């Protein structure tokens, strides 16, 4: 499919690369593409970053029929730009779409759209250590209609944002709060889809965690509130004795691409990595008997994020001595070295965009 390009007349000033934060500034261009039942997905176009004008009755605004993705473009040592496992994001986008009754898009078209947009915006890929260009493909339902049904029309768009660390803590250990008042998702629901409502549903628990001085919420399963699921914007790993454990994909957690990469990396190093149920009681027990060695989160925005403290009711689980554990460090280093093209890519995870 031919992607048309309409360049912006004036370009924005780029932000200070040493002070990027997360998701606050957006590049000069975006990609748009539309769907209607007659033409299917059509008219992919790169055009100036601009407001989306829509009627107040637009379906996504009322019923949340929308999905999104998050991946990054990295500047490698020779100045070229590369993506990390973008095919996985494209596949997950379609899986999320399927769950939300949104028509799937040809994976090659989405991948090509991402590559071409990032290539047009290559000057927006920052070069300072720890920074990258966050890529946000999104699909929204666009029928102006108030009845509850799947929309007939959709807009697909991609926007780009130069980013630094997601958490203000950077790579320092974060503190997470186990909520017992709320649940994020249940099996059969939409927890494993990357859909808008999952994030809206998490906000109140997030606010409560912040009030208590915690960065993120650790969600337990929605039925028994016993088994660990994931954190607001990342999957989670526990190093218990010689085993690295991450909750199995139960149908209610997001199948993270960083999670999958950590599992594959760990196994390639000969470590025992288990995807299984792990209860909060098992974590408490492991802390009590001294076998809880490390806890870390994994995500595109969060990369590898060490966890230093978990609050569960009146119990406080402190992990290690507050410094970054050796496995968290090893996963962080290995993953980012591949993502930034500083090390070999034995798994074939990296996809070049230019240079
Ligand atoms: N879980 C949730 C709820 C997320 O929003 C994310 C971020 O995308 C993740 C996990 C991690 O997924 P990934 O590693 O694909 O970024
Ligand atoms: C990501 O890691 O890409 C996320 O989507 C996390 C958050 C910004 C929603």
pLDDT tens, position by position, 218-228: 999 999 999 99
Domain that holds residue 136: 4-164
pLDDT at 167: 79
What separation in Å is there between the alpha carbon of 194 and the centre of ligand 2?
A: 9
Which of 23, 67, 70, 203 gets mutated to test ligand 1 (max ligand atoms within 8 A of its CB)? 70
Query: In this structure, are 16 and 143 located in the same domain?
Result: yes
Surface-to-core class of residue 207, CB atoms within 10 Å of its CB (0-12 exposed, 13-18 middle, 19+ buried): exposed
State the closest ligand 2 atom to the C-alpha of 68, by its place in the atom list counted from 1. Answer: 5
Which of 66, 90, 300 gets mutated to test ligand 2 (max ligand atoms within 8 A of its CB)? 300
Q: What is the CATH number of the domain that holds 145?
A: 3.30.470.10
Q: What is the CATH number of the domain that holds 306?
A: 3.20.10.10
Which of 85, 217, 233 gets mutated to test ligand 2 (max ligand atoms within 8 A of its CB)? 233
What is the C-alpha to C-alpha distance for residues 167 and 23, in angstroms, rounded to an integer?
A: 12
Query: In this structure, are 180 and 156 located in the same domain?
Result: no
Q: How far apart are the first and last CA of the chain?
A: 23
Query: In this structure, are 185 and 114 located in the same domain?
Result: no
Nearest CA to ligand 2 atom 3: 70
What is the C-alpha to C-alpha distance for residues 283 and 178, in angstroms, rounded to an integer?
A: 12
pLDDT at 253: 96
Using CA atoms, how far residue 204 sits from 176, 182, 192, 209, 277, in Å, is 15, 9, 20, 9, 26
Q: Which of 108, 132, 164 is the last residue in one of the domains?
A: 164
What is the C-alpha to C-alpha distance for residues 267 and 152, in angstroms, rounded to an integer?
A: 44
Burial string for 323-345 (b: 16+ CB within 10 Å, else e) reads: ebbebbbebbebbbebbbbeeee
pLDDT at 166: 87
Q: List the chain residues with pLDDT less than 50.
A: none
Per DSSP bridges, beta strands 303-312 and 315-318 are antiparallel
Strand partners, 307: 174
The reply to whether 294 falls in a domain is yes
pLDDT at 236: 98
Query: In this structure, are 29 and 71 located in the same domain?
Result: yes
What separation in Å is there between the alpha carbon of 68 and the centre of ligand 2?
A: 9
Query: In this structure, are 224 and 333 located in the same domain?
Result: yes
What is the chain's length?
Answer: 355
Q: Which of 116, 136, 164 is the last residue in one of the domains?
A: 164
Nearest CA to ligand 2 atom 9: 233
Q: Is the CB of 325 under 6 A from ligand 1?
A: no
Angle in degrees, 0-180, between the axes of helices 86-99 and 107-120, rounded to the nearest 10: 130
Ramachandran sector of residue 169 (left: φ over 0; alpha: ψ -120 to 50; beta: rest)? alpha
The reply to whether 347 falls in a domain is no
Query: In this structure, are 206 and 305 located in the same domain?
Result: yes
The reply to whether 246 falls in a domain is yes
Going by the DSSP 8-state scheme, the letter that residue 125 receives in this structure is: S
The reply to whether 349 falls in a domain is no
**Tally of structural domains, the chain:** 2
| CB 186, CB 252: distance < 8 Å | yes
State the closest ligand 1 atom to the C-alpha of 184, by its place in the atom list counted from 1. Answer: 3
**Ramachandran angles phi, psi of 164, nearest 5°:** -110, -140
Nearest CA to ligand 2 atom 6: 233
Query: In this structure, are 160 and 178 located in the same domain?
Result: no
Q: Is the CB of 232 under 6 A from ligand 2?
A: no
In this structure, what token pair is assigned to residue 72? Answer: 């990054």
The reply to whether 191 falls in a domain is yes
**Ramachandran angles phi, psi of 329, nearest 5°:** -65, -45
In this structure, what token pair is assigned to residue 331? Answer: 């996963």
| CB 310, CB 178: distance < 8 Å | yes
Query: In this structure, are 204 and 324 located in the same domain?
Result: yes
The reply to whether 352 falls in a domain is no
pLDDT at 355: 59
Query: In this structure, are 108 and 178 located in the same domain?
Result: no
What separation in Å is there between the alpha carbon of 154 and the centre of ligand 1?
A: 24
Q: Which of 130, 164, 198 is the last residue in one of the domains?
A: 164
Query: In this structure, are 128 and 241 located in the same domain?
Result: no
Query: In this structure, are 247 and 268 located in the same domain?
Result: yes
Give tens-digit pLDDT for 257-280: 999 999 999 999 999 999 999 999
What separation in Å is there between the alpha carbon of 253 and the centre of ligand 1?
A: 9
Angle in degrees, 0-180, between the axes of helices 257-268 and 86-99, rounded to the nearest 10: 130
The reply to whether 111 falls in a domain is yes
| CB 30, CB 49: distance < 8 Å | yes
Query: In this structure, are 107 and 187 located in the same domain?
Result: no
State the closest ligand 1 atom to the C-alpha of 232, by its place in the atom list counted from 1. Answer: 3
């Amino acid at each position: 499919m031919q992607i048309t390009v309409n360049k912006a007349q004036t370009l924005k000033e780029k932000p200070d690369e040493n002070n990027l934060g997360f998701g606050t500034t957006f590049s000069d261009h975006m990609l748009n593409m539309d769907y209607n039942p007659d033409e299917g997905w059509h008219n992919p176009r790169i055009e100036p970053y601009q407001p989306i004008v829509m009627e107040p009755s637009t379906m996504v605004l009322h019923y949340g029929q929308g999905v999104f993705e998050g991946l990054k473009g990295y500047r490698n040592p020779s100045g070229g730009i590369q993506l990390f496992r973008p095919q996985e994001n494209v596949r997950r986008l379609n899986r999320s779409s399927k769950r939300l009754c949104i028509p799937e898009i040809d994976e090659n078209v989405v991948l090509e759209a991402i590559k071409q947009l990032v290539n047009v915006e290559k000057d927006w890929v920052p070069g300072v250590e720890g920074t990258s260009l966050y890529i946000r493909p999104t699909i929204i339902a666009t029928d102006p209609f108030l009845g509850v049904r799947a929309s007939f029309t959709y807009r697909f768009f991609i926007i780009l944002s130069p980013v630094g660390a997601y958490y203000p803590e950077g790579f320092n250990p974060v503190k997470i709060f186990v909520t017992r008042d709320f649940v994020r998702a249940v099996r059969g629901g939409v927890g494993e889809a990357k859909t808008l409502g999952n994030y809206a549903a998490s906000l109140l628990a997030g606010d409560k965690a912040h009030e208590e001085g915690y960065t993120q919420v650790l969600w337990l399963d929605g039925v028994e509130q016993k088994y660990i699921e994931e954190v607001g914007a990342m999957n989670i790993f526990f190093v218990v004795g010689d085993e690295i454990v991450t909750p199995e994909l139960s149908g209610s957690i997001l199948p993270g691409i960083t999670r999958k990469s950590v599992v594959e990396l760990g196994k390639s190093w000969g470590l025992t990595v288990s995807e299984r149920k792990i209860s909060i009681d098992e974590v408490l027990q492991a802390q009590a008997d001294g076998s809880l060695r490390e806890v870390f989160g994994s995500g595109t925005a969060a990369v590898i994020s060490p966890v230093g403290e978990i609050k569960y009711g009146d119990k406080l689980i402190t992990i290690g001595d507050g410094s970054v554990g050796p496995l968290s460090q090893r996963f962080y280093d290995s993953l980012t070295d591949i993502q930034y093209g500083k090390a070999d890519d034995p798994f074939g995870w990296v996809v070049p965009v230019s240079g």
